[in-house]
Copies of this chain bind each other. A is one copy, B any other.
């Protein structure tokens, strides 16, 4: 039986690894797509490659783009990544780690990839609960992109429908951990940290680490990924 192709945006973090596993479990052949976008943490690309292999992706493309030309985020510019923020503060405003229009750019490339593959399905690990500060992680944003995709492309004109799947949209970090675990995602090979060590160990103190650690703690599990020795809260 042939499996339909799907494009899966894969950052190498726990969310996109879980999404890739979901796409695979839903019966799709996974065509993974990652970006080299001037991010500090190129280490996440190595994680993405490991995850793509582990998940049995049939293809993994890395597209180079340069968002640094525009500046504007702690993930791409020489601005300090915030550390040790109280959990209650995370997600209450657009964070400094917000990269302008990043999901729009990523989904646009996913759409181009999907159209050339003949794929009608795009998977993204956007998550509205823990990251409510990112405007492009909201359900109405995902719906608007799906609508755009069907107007933007030859496939849409010819009557095929694109679907943008964001299966983590309404999940908390704990539920994501549990969902991934149920699908045998190897979280040890994923990398979520905004500011990892040169060897790829997570800092344990940036917003992404704090939310991830909270998810594992709430699920009653220990995060198997490597952290720096003095990382708090493991």
Contacts and interface: CB of A to CB of B under 8 A. Distances in A.
Interface string A49-83: 00000000000010111110111100000000000
A141 B148 contact: yes
A131 to B, nearest CB: 13
Nearest to A95: B154
Prevailing SS type, chain A contact patch: helix
A152 to B, nearest CB: 5
A111 B116 contact: no
Given A135-B154, A147-B144, A154-B135, A111 B101 contact: yes
Interface residues of A, number: 43
Interface of A: 61, 63-67, 69-72, 94, 98-105, 107-109, 111-113, 115-116, 135-136, 138, 140-141, 144-145, 147-149, 151-154, 156-157
15 contacts: A63-B69, A64-B64, A67-B112, A98-B154, A100-B153, A101-B109, A103-B152, A104-B152, A135-B154, A135-B157, A136-B151, A136-B152, A136-B153, A141-B148, A141-B152
